Amino acid sequence: MDFLLRYGGRKATLTGLAPDDLITSVIGQTGTFYEMELLAEIFHRAMPGWVFLDAGAHVGNHSVFFGAILGLEGHSVEQNPDTFAILQGNLAANGLEHRVRAINAAVGRRAGRAATVRNDSGANSGMDRIELTPDGPLPVITVDSLNLPRLDLLKIDVEGFEVECLAGARDTLARCNPLIVAEAIGTPDFDAQCAFLAPFGYAPVRRFNVTPTYLYEKR
């Protein structure tokens, strides 16, 4: 399914969305981007010239908002090959393929290999998880391995692997001090994120979304 979405005086297109996917259903019902409350907060915070990294970009809902609506450059990382193809299509449909780099990989604590573990319901491919395995078909990269000269916004939605992703971003966090948005499925995940980020000077400032997603900023 295809959608033409508008926000802040700009428009964007999302294409190739599966009809039975939860994200498609929400966009169809609301007529706007998925997780719009969170995106509206970023809309008011983002500054010209910001660079983003979308770890767990899925079909590109957030990346397209960051690129087409906010006008940012960035990097979109998605591990599922089928979903990655849709992400690439959405970046191209919005003229972002030269401003947003798409990377087909999982993001973790260290480089390696992984396999996809499908979610039981099948209603949201964004809920697929990864399982580390030496002979897995998927590459695992770290945020630090990207050697980003600048990073202002780090969004992480990797189904319980968020702290692993942060652990592979130590140098980048210390050097760039990005605003961080991370999903935390339950209280243990949230506590682990807070414990990891506290030594870097980060604290949670707001919660969003049905699946708890927290905004962290440097104090």
CA atoms within 13 A on the CB side of 78: 25
Structure tokens at 173: 């966090």
Within the chain, what is the greatest distance between any pair of CA atoms?
47
Residues contacting 36, CB < 8 A, separation 6+: 7, 30
Name the residue type at position 202.
Answer: Y
pTM over 0.95: no
**104/188 Cα distance (integer angstroms):** 28
- pLDDT tens for the chain, residues 1 to 219: 999 999 999 999 999 999 999 999 999 999 999 999 999 999 999 999 999 999 999 999 999 999 999 999 999 999 999 999 999 999 999 999 999 999 999 999 999 898 877 665 555 555 666 778 788 889 999 999 999 999 999 999 998 899 999 999 999 999 999 999 999 999 999 999 999 999 999 999 999 998 999 999 998
Q: Where are the domains of the chain?
A: 34-218
As beta bridge partners, residue 114 has 132, 138
Structure tokens at 216: 């962290």
Sheet with 153-156, side-by-side order of all strands: 100-104, 73-78, 51-55, 153-156, 179-183, 213-218, 202-208
**55/107 Cα distance (integer angstroms):** 7
**110/195 Cα distance (integer angstroms):** 19
Q: Which CATH class is domain 34-218?
A: alpha beta
**101/96 Cα distance (integer angstroms):** 9
